[in-house]
Structure 1
Amino acid sequence: MKGLVKQGNILQLMDVNEPVCQDDRVKVEVKYTGICGTDLHIYHNEFEVTDSIIIGHEMSGEVVEVGKNIKNLTIGDRVTVLPSNYYTCQDCEFCEKGLYTLCRVRKGMGLHVNGGFTQYVVVREDMCYKIPNHITYEVAAMSEPLAVVTQPIEELADITREDVVLVTGPGPIGLLATYVLVNKGCKVLVAGTSSDTERLKIAKEIGCTRTIDVLTEDLKAIVKEETNGIGVNVVVECSGSNQAIKSGINVLKNTGTFLQVGVIGKDIQIDFDSVLYKQLNVKGSIGHGISTWDKVIQILENSKGDLEKIITHRFPLSRWEEAFKVCEARKGAKVLIYNDYI
């Protein structure tokens, strides 16, 4: 079979061995794998991974083989795969709380062990979550990034339907955050730049109240207008932009909540006294935990089709370079890859 392999400083499509399904494992035929920002960093040698592994960690597929010790899955089950806890110590304080992302020895798929840009993966039974019948494999492939936004919104903050929430950065993560917040009943404002025109349009299609181009519009004035001069209750920052972080803190109401979801990747300068004087609640969120995934499946169960709007491109694995370039150019939102080497 073929796999998209990071070997040395080169990312390339190669012939790889088909994985063997052990007695306590499940073999999944991958249907779709999403391109994550991490994959782009791997492509450009900006993120270190284990040498000679198949990358990709946002995947859905069909169970095609089960080991003799498997109890809750059968051949033909449609699943999404939790890729981040392929190996954890199971002993540290974070593992005991289900916060596997924070385990110091964690190994995740597509980073430390083979991932989803290929035909088959072999995983533990508990890494597979059955997807609702009405959910497509395409939407199910967004389960992992959906978990990335579900953790801060549902587990790290007390957000209610009465809140006005600003989402900064309308990339795939920002759009998924918008979807979750809209479906909580929140009034959602989404801020981006002039290069985000298509993505801001999608934000409107999935139900946000207002979109804001920060290069041509006055974010502070619009927030003042939309909140009767009080400021937003919550900011969900998904861009990793220094300016977006500054602006987000600036438009938060006193005692508001700031959730940092986007990776910044460098030192930044902000007016940290604002956190003090406005008595803000500032939290970072990395990845997700075990409890998050049950919430993700419930979100999928309740989904009525709007998640499909976030998917703008589907490419065969043979055209992976083209797919990556679309992501880099920010031409769409979620870009998926399917295997065409069957």
Structure 2
Amino acid sequence: MKALMKTGRGYGNVELRDVEEPVCADNSVKIEVRYTGICGTDLHILHDTFMNYPPVVLGHEFSGVIAEVGAAVKHHRVGSRVTVLPSTAVTCGTCSYCRQGKYMFCPQRRGMGYGVHGSFTKYVVVREDMVYRLPDHIPLEVAALAEPLACAVNALEELTSIQAGDRVLISGPGPIGLLCLALLVGRGIRVVVAGTTEDAERLQLARKLGADLTVDVLKEDLHSIVQAETGGLGMDVAIECAGAGPSISNCLHALKKMGKFIQVGIAGKQVTLDYDLILFKQIQLYGSVGHSLSTWDRVIRIFEQNKIRLQDVITHQFPLSQWQEAFELCEKKRGGKVLLYYDDNKEGGNAFESGC
């Protein structure tokens, strides 16, 4: 079978290769991958600005159908539609973080798509406990949003408290920013979304998803807009999803005194800031990395309740053989979430025209 692999350290070194189909062990589940989302982390791995352990199959945001179960598997059956928690592929299971369900901080952790083989391929084999069965009404392409949705849920629902009546700035209208927006709009919270001219399509999508206001910071004065929006006080909460120095600075300046700043985007390099803003505004600063076991339980409940507009975040689908075109689309910040599907997967591409 084909797999999209990071073949060596350094910029690039990503290509489609032939790999052996994985074998299902007694305590494992073999899944036929239907959809995998392209994550910002995949782009960082392409640029070698995120830790990776090549040769390794990329991809970690995915859904699929169980093709085989091991003899010791008790809770899953062939044919079930599932999504997978990819971040626990390797953990020690005994450190204080693992025991709390905070596996992201396990010193031995390696996740799928950078530390062990991921889902930009036809089949994956994972442990039974990594597999989550989907409600029947959730399409498999939407289910591929489970992992990035978990990142948004961790930041907005578990790490911090955002209350009715708050005014929230989201800086960076990429897929994570759009998922944060969808969650906040679903709760009736007023949201301003900021991006650059390069983000024009994504800002348009943000308006479709329910943003109250969008701002092109290269053409409009974000500070003046925030002042007008808040009566001169500043935003209650700023969520940084772009992972860019100017975006982080804009968030800190936009916040009111004693406001909340949530860092979700990965910068991948050092940034320069007016750090005293945190002191003099007495800003509550949060870093949100990944998710936890409780986050995934919440994500499945969100799927079950089906109240959040998630389908609209997905704008493009491509077969795996067109991965370069799909990655380039993401690099150019066009559209929302971009999905890849295996070329002989007849389901892939049904919901959207490839590259639409």
In the superposition, the TM-score normalised over structure 2's length comes to: 0.93
Aligned: 1:303 with 2:311 = no
Q: Single out whichever of 293-302 and 212-221 deviates more from structure 2.
A: 293-302
Match of 1:6 in 2: 6
Q: Single out whichever of 163-172 and 70-79 deviates more from structure 2.
A: 70-79
Match of 2:50 in 1: 47
Please show how residues 157-172 of structure 1 align to structure 2 within 5 Å.
Answer: 157-172=160-175
3-state DSSP of counterpart to 2:88: coil
Q: Write out per-residue CA displacement over residues 100-146 of structure 1, whole angstroms, 9 at most, x where no aligned residue.
A: 11111101111111100011111111111112222111111111111
Letter in 2 for 1:63: I
Letter in 2 for 1:135: I
Match of 2:339 in 1: 336
Aligned: 1:18 with 2:3 = no
* Distance in 2 of aligned mates of 1:260 and 1:242: 11
Please show how residues 266-305 of structure 1 align to structure 2 within 5 Å.
Answer: 266-304=269-307
**Structure 1 residues 223, 255: CA separation in 2 closer, same or farther (over 3 Å shift)?**
same
Aligned: 1:187 with 2:190 = yes
* Distance in 1 of aligned mates of 2:331 and 2:267: 17
Q: What is the deviation of 1:193? A: 0.8
Please show how residues 37-186 of structure 1 align to structure 2 within 5 Å.
Answer: 37-186=40-189
Q: What is the deviation of 1:233? A: 0.9
Q: Single out whichever of 106-115 and 264-273 deviates more from structure 2.
A: 264-273
2:260 aligns with one of 257, 262, 284: 257
* Distance in 1 of aligned mates of 2:29 and 2:75: 11
1:257–1:282 contact (8 Å) kept in structure 2: yes
Letter in 2 for 1:4: L
1:209 aligns with one of 191, 194, 212: 212
* Distance in 2 of aligned mates of 1:328 and 1:78: 30
Letter in 1 for 2:101: G
Unaligned runs of 5+ in 1: none
Q: What is the deviation of 1:47? A: 3.1
Matched residues, percent identical? 51
Q: Write out per-residue CA displacement over residues 19-74 of structure 1, whole angstroms, 9 at most, x where no aligned residue.
A: 11111111111000011111122223333422222111111001111112111111
Letter in 2 for 1:64: A
* Distance in 1 of aligned mates of 2:306 and 2:208: 15
Runs of at least 4 residues off by over 4 Å? none
Q: What is the deviation of 1:187? A: 0.6
Q: Single out whichever of 39-48 and 327-336 deviates more from structure 2.
A: 39-48
In the superposition, the TM-score normalised over structure 1's length comes to: 0.96
Q: What is the deviation of 1:304? A: 4.7
Aligned: 1:242 with 2:260 = no
2:183–2:308 contact (8 Å) kept in structure 1: no
* Distance in 1 of aligned mates of 2:51 and 2:279: 36
3-state DSSP of counterpart to 1:84: helix
Unaligned runs of 5+ in 2: 346-356
RMSD: 1.4
3-state DSSP of counterpart to 2:310: helix
Match of 2:231 in 1: 228
* Distance in 1 of aligned mates of 2:307 and 2:151: 20
* Distance in 1 of aligned mates of 2:128 and 2:83: 11
Letter in 2 for 1:92: C
* Distance in 1 of aligned mates of 2:326 and 2:269: 26
1:237–1:245 contact (8 Å) kept in structure 2: yes
1:2–1:341 contact (8 Å) kept in structure 2: no
